[in-house]
Amino acid sequence: MKIFKIVKDNKKSLREKSLEITFPLDKELEDTLLDMVEYLKISQNDELAKKYHLRGGVGLAAPQIGINKRMLAIYVEMDEKVYEYALINPKIISESAKLTYLQGGEGCLSVDSEHNGYVYRHYKIKVQAFNLLTNKEEILEFKGYLAIIAQHEIDHLDGVLFYDRINKLNPFEVRKNSIAI
């Protein structure tokens, strides 16, 4: 089990575009990505999170642990299912016109301060990526909350933070063609 030091949003590296990963995979990168998934699991376990002083997270991008490579991890339990991904070179290949947002706003392991306002995301997206957990290139469809998580993490790979997407003039503007989650 590896406990990562999370890079905070005041670090320049979090604003840089991450590099594509070449194949064959480097064993160290592969192990790191699997550790990222494990980190998310531990962060969601109340007892372990308290023991290791971790904030709970559902997604983690490599730049957040100081590696500017295009890989991310997602781990979330919802609707009595476990959604677990270890993605390399993820790319959004289609997105819905319908938008969605979290009513309580988004948060981020790299951001300690409050940033109030709605962050609009596409309600449904298709992502092409190499999934280390299945060991193959896949096209994955994410909807609702999972789509929000995936877009948030992919933004990290492009040096974008969630609060960059909040309307500064009207942070709680409700857009047409959007649904709150």
Q: Are 121 and 144 in contact (CB under 8 A)?
A: no
Options 47, 137, 153, 173, the catalytic residue: 153
Three-class secondary structure assignment of the chain: CCCCCCCCCCCHHHHCCCECCCCCCCHHHHHHHHHHHHHHHHHCCHHHHHHHCCCCCCEEEHHHHCCCECEEEEEEEECCEEEEEEEEEEEEEEECCCEEECCCCCCECCECCCCCCCCCEECEEEEEEEECCCCEEEEEEEEHHHHHHHHHHHHHHCCCCHHHHCCCCCCCCCCCCEEEC
Burial letters 147-169, b for 16+ CB under 10 A, else e: bbbbbbbbbbbebbbbbebbeee
Known binding residues for Fe cation = 108, 152, 156
For residue 136, list its beta bridge partners: 131
Active site residue 114: no
Q: Which residues are annotated as a binding site?
A: 108, 152, 156
Question: Could you give the residue numbers annotated as active site?
Answer: 153
